[in-house]
Amino acid sequence: MNCASRSSSTPSPALALVRVQGRTAPGGAWGNAPALRHQASADAARRSTLGRVIAWDPRFFRKSTLYWPIRDMAARFEETLAWPPVEAVDEALSEAAGVHFRLQPPRPRRRGRSRAPVDLSSLYDARIHVEGWVPTRAASWHDFLNALVWATFPASKRALHARQHRALSARLGDAPRALPDRRTREQDGLALLDEGSLLLLAVEERAPVIAAALEARDVSAVQNEISEGSAVALVFGHALYESLLPDERPSIWAMVALLPCPGPLPTEGDACIRLADARLAERITTPGTFSQPETFRSLPLDERVLCGASVL
């Protein structure tokens, strides 16, 4: 199974602009990937406008073969001529996602010098993990694509936000007066996984070879494994999907989550998605995983590398 079986277009590589709920993701190391350190002022502004300057396109998922994992969910909106309201997103996706999507409430204003304790229940991950709904902005590519990822990889997203909620809650205590001014390494890693990761399902006996190729930055070796059916690449990070929207896109290297699997890989796309979702959710719930961003390895977000030789 390769990307070519899900779509027919082949655009150029893309630049992913990693963003976490409107906040700049800490720079952090991405292992042996090219430097992706973000200047908070310029890059945050650029990220915040990326989805807004691109008009609604109900057939956006046909722009790149890399959209194949979310294609079926995105196709539910193919006849929608204008931005679907958040209520319509919820109606179309909530059953598959296992959560609801609701309009993101405005941030409360703090007045005066004295700070009231932070309302833990109002935090993003608490809304998801405790209350079962995802704060979603209207007419936002970033949030719309996040909803599509939720509907495609529900177990992984649920495990990810549960862990992020636990990680932040452990730091805050019972009545915090302010949020921490920076993330821990674990929070960095989980944020990068959520926003900018590429899942690489791999036949178990080939996984050490692929891991060694990633370590050596031997892209052609990984490409060969994908072409030969020993591995399947699936974009998970919704910021990566967002980066595929513009017609002209610089290149980027995406963080790789290598997921070894026993036996041959499925040849059918939906089965690959279900397997990737189950394997990633299992990894996320394993303590200590994704907690060292400096060990992450990466691949170019390029159809020629990730979708097999038939896409060339």
Residue 291: count other Cβ atoms within 10 Å of its Cβ. 15
Q: What is the DSSP letter of 29?
A: -
**DSSP three-state, residue 257:** strand
Helix (H, G, I), strand (E, B) or coil at 23: strand
Confidence at residue 106, expressed as pLDDT on a 0 to 100 scale:
86
Distance CA 203, CA 275 (A): 12
Tell me 287's DSSP state: T
pTM: 0.84
Residues 6 or more apart whose CB falls under 8 angstroms from that of 161 comprise: 125, 128, 129
Judged against a pLDDT cut of 80, whether residue 1 lies above it is answered with no
What would the pLDDT profile of 116-142 be if each residue is shown by its tens digit? Answer: 677 777 788 889 999 999 999 999 999
Structure letter (DSSP) for residue 205: G
Is residue 252 within 8 Å of 13, Cβ to Cβ? yes
Q: Which of 147, 153, 160, 130 minimizes the C-alpha distance to 90?
A: 147
Contact (Cβ atoms closer than 8 angstroms) between residue 22 and residue 48 = yes
Task: Compute and round to an integer the Cα radius of gyration of the chain.
Answer: 19
**Confidence bin at 27 (pLDDT 50/70/90):** very low
**Burial of 106 (C-beta count, 10 Å sphere; 0-12/13-18/19+):** exposed
